[in-house]
Amino acid sequence: MDIYFDNSATTVAYPEVAKTVSEAMLELYANPSSLHRMGKVAEDAISDARKYISSTVNGTPDEIYFTSGGTESDNLAIIGYAKANKRSGNRIITQKTEHAAVLESFSHLESEGFDVVYIDVDSSGSPDMEMLKNSIDENTILLSFMHVNNENGAIFPIEEISSLCDHKKCMLHVDAVQSFGKIPINVKKTGIDMLSVSSHKIHGPNGVGALYVRKGVKINPIAVGGKQERGLRSGTENVAGILGFSKACEIKFKNMEKDAETIGNIKKALCDGLLENIENVIINSPKDSIHSILNVSFPGVKSEVLLHILESKGIYVSTGSACNSKKNKYSYVLKEMKLKNDVIDSAVRFSFSAFNTMDDVEYTVNVLKKEIPLLRKIMK
């Protein structure tokens, strides 16, 4: 019995997606840049996918650029925009709890002379809006904030942040990897200039994502070559991956409201079950966090030890971001939230999908109900 509660790291592909990818690899294998008929068929298939994916965020097809995933989309947006507009100003702003793809992009630009400001967060992980307002000056050209935190599920006030940009010189980039397909996104209504999304977080294939860039926003490529993706992202297009991504979007967006209710009920049941059956459980996710993420601490138990105990019982969870969990002892996100070390050191992230069931929750609660007291005795 395998219970997969690590859906913020990656998700299992929809069967329809696997079928789409397999068929595309066998039938649409021609290079989309080729001038012959087979190349044109592949190019047309990408165009259809681009049109559909753009509609999911209320963009237009010529505002969507396919990439290898969220990390590349973040890098392309942040580094590409900053370098294209450095004559307009050199201040760029983000928050201390962003994903590593954003923080490393900012660190790279800082080493090249950009003035980088890292905004503090409160105990829920939300940005200090007063500090943000005071940090924006006439030299500010970019704000980059995630829509949903990948570790505790906090949903950030993107519309309020957007209102601080003039969208002429100062632009807003949003990392929507954890929110895309789960809660509605309207780039026009919200005032988002650039948006990063990823396929494998919504039951699509790994290695493909997209970057929305609003018309009129100047951005430089960060890799050179054959000038695919209208010159912004060189390299032969991943036709099968893009079509798989589009198919995943089609299924996910069709079922978004229903999935949100199903997953929300699973999250609530797990949260209630832990609080009712285990002493000294701390919920690190805000009450209004996204339905797909629950961050929980069991003080007195090392999270890595608990992770492997759960694994031995067929339950798969995470101690934080998959991109950082092998490198850092403590979650920098929870640390910036000023949580105590014993809370940080015992934190586990459960992240859900519509493939999870109430039986999964019941089994998990029963396992934890038995194992947590035993581990606390051993680790005293």
H-only helix segments in 31-121: 37-55, 70-84, 100-111
The answer to whether 170 is a known catalytic residue is: no
Contact 69, 206 (CB under 8 A): yes
User: d(Cα 128, Cα 105) in Å, to the nearest integer?
Assistant: 21
d(CA 210, CA 232) in angstroms, rounded, equals 12
8 A C-beta contact, residue 158 and residue 174: yes
Closest alpha carbon to 195 in 216, 218, 179, 182:
179
Among the listed residues 170, 249, 271, 323, the single catalytic one is: 323
**Contact by Cβ (8 Å): 321, 347:** no
CA distance 172 to 163: 10
Contact between 120 and 336 (Cβ < 8 Å):
yes
Segments in 91-135 forming alpha helices (H): 100-111, 129-135
CA torsion 211→215→217→222, rounded to 10°? 40
245: nearest Cα among 49, 22, 6, 39: 49
Crossing angle of helices 70-84/100-111, nearest 10°? 30
- CA 102, 105, 201, 313 torsion-angle sign: negative
Any idea what the Cα angle at residue 244 is, between residues 243 and 248, rounded to 5°? 115
- Kindly tell me the number of DSSP H helices and DSSP E strands found in the chain: 13, 12
Residues with catalytic annotation? 323
